[in-house]
Amino acid sequence: MASIGKIKLSEEERTALEYRTRSQKIEYRQKLRSQIILKLSEEKTYNEIEAELGICRPSINKWKRRYKEGGISGLEDAPRSGKPAIYGEDDKARVIQLACSKPEGGYSNWSQRRIAKEVGMSQTKVQQILANHDLKPHKTDYWCGKSTDPEFESKMLDIVGLYLDPPENAIVLSVDEKTQIQALDRSQPELPMKQGRPKRLTTTYKRNGTVALIAALAVHHGEVTAKTMDKNDALNFLKFLKTIYRKYPKKNLHIIADNLSIHKQKDVREWIDSKPRMTIHYTPTYSSWLNQIEIWFNILTRDVLKDAVWHSKKQLTDQLMEYVKTYNKTRAKPFEWTYTGKSKRTNGSLH
């Protein structure tokens, strides 16, 4: 088992080669060539590399020579003979430039079809160029912008502290409203699901009014207190606070709410200040995601509101309150905090 010589790699070269072996955007044959060079740098023998990578000796020598001659670029495919490419680098750059710019004519985003028409290429070629550069003009990701609240950190730590280590003899309640819930009825009867065919609804509908739902999640018990309202205003918010104040006698109440103006209205603040057992904690600006009731609202939307039909506003309100009772009876439990403090690429979250 003769040694085939060691290739000396700098730290930068080794890092680049290791990145290529892990990348999801590089074809397998490119990864394999990088693995060959890494094995050579470890003074592996022919037999060891053949066994570990499943390749033949001539291939090992070929990519060893190509790497010595051209570095990482030497591991790329050599130019093929035959008909020359129709489009050059300038044409590709034009496609990329358009995809990364804002279109004119009132459009908000580029489509592959319109890029193809603009540059005089086939849509298939445009798709290929964009895919090779991992560009997706048809797709949008959303991210949470940085809060402008100068007290963001202190407010965030205050709320997270209540979640993780609540005071003794205290109930932590996440409170918010879900507004403009429409009692939508369909113009034709619902067609129930059958084998091989989903439930079907007409696209035409009529509105039977709207309802607002105010709810409080007892963070460490999972119980939800809720009430429907015709109008979302400070008066109804205050009435709801009084309801939960009576519901939990002899307990210190810590209310988590967002910065909606009705939550800070004068009468609301004066009443809270007059109650030694109640403290309100406002989430930082643009950070209502810190309020756990938003998780429950997402569950409610999925379980109740999505694709539902109501023949009257009363039917909607009755179903909402029935769902709250069922949830408390069968599913209420604290949401588990699983974030580990690692990078944003981990799966840590509230669920």
**Mean pLDDT for the stretch of residues 211-235:** 96
Between 183 and 220, name the one with better pLDDT: 220
**Mean pLDDT for the stretch of residues 7-25:** 83
**What pLDDT score was predicted for residue 208?**
82
pLDDT greater than 80 at residue 141: no
In 3D, which of 34, 24, 28, 64 has the Cα closest to residue 46? Answer: 64
**Mean pLDDT for the stretch of residues 47-76:** 86
**Mean pLDDT for the stretch of residues 102-107:** 86
Query: Tens digits of per-residue pLDDT, 169-199?
Result: 999 999 999 999 988 876 556 656 667 666 6
Per-domain boundaries in the chain: 11-75, 89-132, 152-330
What is the architecture, at CATH level 2, of domain 152-330? 2-Layer Sandwich (3.30)
pLDDT greater than 60 at residue 168: yes
In 3D, which of 135, 226, 234, 128 has the Cα closest to residue 178? Answer: 226
**What pLDDT score was predicted for residue 243?**
97
**Mean pLDDT for the stretch of residues 28-34:** 86
**Mean pLDDT for the stretch of residues 83-95:** 77
- Angle, alpha carbons 128-134-138 (nearest 5°): 80
**Mean pLDDT for the stretch of residues 34-62:** 87
User: Mean pLDDT over all residues of the chain?
Assistant: 85
Between 80 and 291, name the one with better pLDDT: 291
- Band the pLDDT of 228: cuts 50, 70, 90: very high
**What pLDDT score was predicted for residue 81?**
63
- Band the pLDDT of 351: cuts 50, 70, 90: very low
pLDDT greater than 50 at residue 349: no
- Band the pLDDT of 135: cuts 50, 70, 90: confident
Q: Alpha-carbon distance 313 to 211, whole Å? A: 7
**Mean pLDDT for the stretch of residues 266-277:** 96
**What pLDDT score was predicted for residue 99?**
87
**Mean pLDDT for the stretch of residues 235-262:** 96
Lowest-pLDDT range, 37-41, 194-198, 242-246, 263-267? 194-198
Between 196 and 265, name the one with better pLDDT: 265
- Band the pLDDT of 346: cuts 50, 70, 90: very low
**What pLDDT score was predicted for residue 258?**
94
